[in-house]
Amino acid sequence: MVELLPSILSADFARLADEVAAAERGGGTVIHVDVMDGHFVPNITLGPPVVKSLRKATNLPLDCHLMIENANEYIPAFADAGANWIGVHYEACPHLHRTIELILNHGLKPGVVINPATRVEVLLEILPMLHHVLVMSVNPGFGGQKFIDFSLNKIRRLAEIREELGLRFRIEVDGGVAHDTIAQVVQAGAELLVAGNAVFGSGKAEQNARELLAAAKAAAGIAV
Ligand code: DX5
Ligand code: ZN
């Protein structure tokens, strides 16, 4: 089942509750929250206090995408703040199994995120523990970048591996997902579709979300 995950990175942070409400009216079902530390990625965004405020503003699940070093130190604070899903980067977690166990022990849904240059096969052993795998289709750090085409092969490969191994993790894609790319990512096998600029970039979040979701469902062969 395809779902749209509006990424608040491109929202107006001074009107965050309104922006999230508009994206929800447009059909967004999970809110994607980009956490950046200025070390793992060259940008700084937000931390647990903003997640805590978002938690009060919406009942939708909060998908926290941690683009940070030392994730283990901060996972308890994101759990306390009201996060539901936590995605950590393969490239930033030297003890990935321990990190996934930590997320599970806090009662949250764990995911692993891979950068464009990271191959999906590095996740083989950890896949049975995961709720989702997030394929970055841009280099993380900024919204509004161009979709990297070879990400489609990675999505297809992940879908094949899931089938071969009989697993249930969900396939998420993030970066450059917009009106011109959303059908391709759905056809490749992605079902959790993160979109920042395409939802919030032009100040019409509700309408943008509705149109993106309709395009995604059409590509998935679901009546809209
Ligand atoms: C980038 C973030 C994305 C970002 C995507 O590092 O992880 O979630 O918001 O933005 P768009 O959809 O504009 O590429
Ligand atoms: Zn993200």
- Please give the structure tokens belonging to residue 187: 């056809």
Contacts 24+ apart (CB under 8 A), 96-103: 96/126, 97/126, 97/129, 98/72, 99/71, 99/72, 99/75, 100/126, 100/129, 100/130, 101/129, 102/72, 102/75, 103/75
> Which residues are part of the catalytic machinery?
34, 174
The architecture of the domain spanning 3-219 is Alpha-Beta Barrel (3.20)
> Whose CA is closest to 198, among 209, 206, 183?
209
Average pLDDT value over all residues in the chain: 98
pLDDT tens-place string over residues 176-209? 999 999 999 999 999 999 999 999 999 899 999 9
Pocket probe mutation, ligand 1, options 10, 85, 148, max atoms within 8 Å of Cβ: 10
Phi/psi zone of residue 44: left (φ > 0), alpha (ψ -120 to 50 degrees), beta? Answer: beta
User: Is the pTM of the predicted complex or chain greater than 0.95?
Assistant: yes
Q: Domain ranges in the chain?
A: 3-219
Pocket probe mutation, ligand 1, options 197, 200, 202, max atoms within 8 Å of Cβ: 197
